């Protein structure tokens, strides 16, 4: 067994996934490039922690995530807005969320509890469909803890390549309904769900 490029994520509630898929389709129609989000093997998500995970450790990390999720209910994610950011010379549209105490706390707990299992050393071969993975995706995972964790944590959902009309109307509060562990693909898409658990406690 080897390593995989892994991401611990919040998956939105089903009605919110519908909105993300609509926005992604709008981008694909305008640019004819990028990736098509869907409900099975390219899921809309909010990343909490990334790294390279030994496959033999998947059940261990899954148990840790189950324990983290057990006392939690769905997490509200107030939307800051649609933003267009630059990534490796390309425009990428994202939905950014307020870094509220609940989502910040979840990120920090997951990052700390998973630190022993998510390393910064990995290659293109650890990704889903590795022949189509760009070096920029590998570099992003390699640098995630240093560049996107703790005070640098930036909760967002990547919608696709290109600039989306920022006047698009959508729900102003999204909901994180599941905690999941996935294998990453190109553009750090969530390609293969390895474990997921519902945030079901009602608070």
Asked if 48 and 8 count as a contact pair (C-beta separation under 8 A), the reply is: yes
The residues of the chain scoring below 50 in pLDDT are: 203
* DSSP for residue 55: G
User: How many residues are listed for the chain in this entry?
Assistant: 203
Q: CATH classification of 3-198, choosing from 1.10.540.10, 3.30.1490.20, 3.40.1380.20, 3.90.1140.10?
A: 3.90.1140.10
Runs of H (alpha helix) within the chain: 14-31, 58-69, 101-114, 135-142, 144-148
Residue 48 is predicted with a pLDDT of: 98
Residue 202 is predicted with a pLDDT of: 55
Residue 125 is predicted with a pLDDT of: 97
Residue 35 CA neighbour count, 13 Å, CB half: 21
Residue 171's CB is within 10 A of a number of other CB atoms, namely: 12
């Amino acid at each position: 067994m080897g390593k995989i490029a892994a991401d611990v994520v919040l998956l939105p509630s089903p009605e919110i996934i519908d909105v993300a898929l609509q926005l992604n389709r709008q981008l694909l129609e305008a640019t004819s490039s990028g990736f098509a989000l869907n409900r099975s093997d390219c899921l809309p998500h909010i990343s909490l922690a990334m790294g390279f995970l030994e496959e033999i450790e998947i059940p261990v990390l899954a148990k840790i995530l189950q324990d983290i999720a057990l006392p939690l209910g769905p997490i509200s994610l107030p939307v800051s807005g649609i933003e267009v950011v630059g990534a490796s010379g390309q425009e990428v549209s994202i939905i950014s969320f307020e870094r509220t105490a609940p989502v910040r706390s979840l990120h920090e707990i997951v990052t700390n509890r998973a630190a022993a299992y998510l390393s910064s050393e990995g290659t293109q071969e650890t990704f889903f469909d590795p022949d189509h993975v760009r070096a920029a995706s590998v570099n992003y995972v390699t640098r995630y803890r240093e560049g996107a964790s703790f005070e640098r944590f930036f909760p967002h959902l990547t919608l696709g390549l290109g600039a989306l009309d920022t006047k698009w109307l959508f729900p102003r509060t999204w909901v994180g309904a599941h905690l999941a562990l996935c294998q990453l693909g190109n553009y750090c898409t969530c390609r293969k769900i390895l474990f997921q658990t519902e945030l079901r406690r009602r608070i």
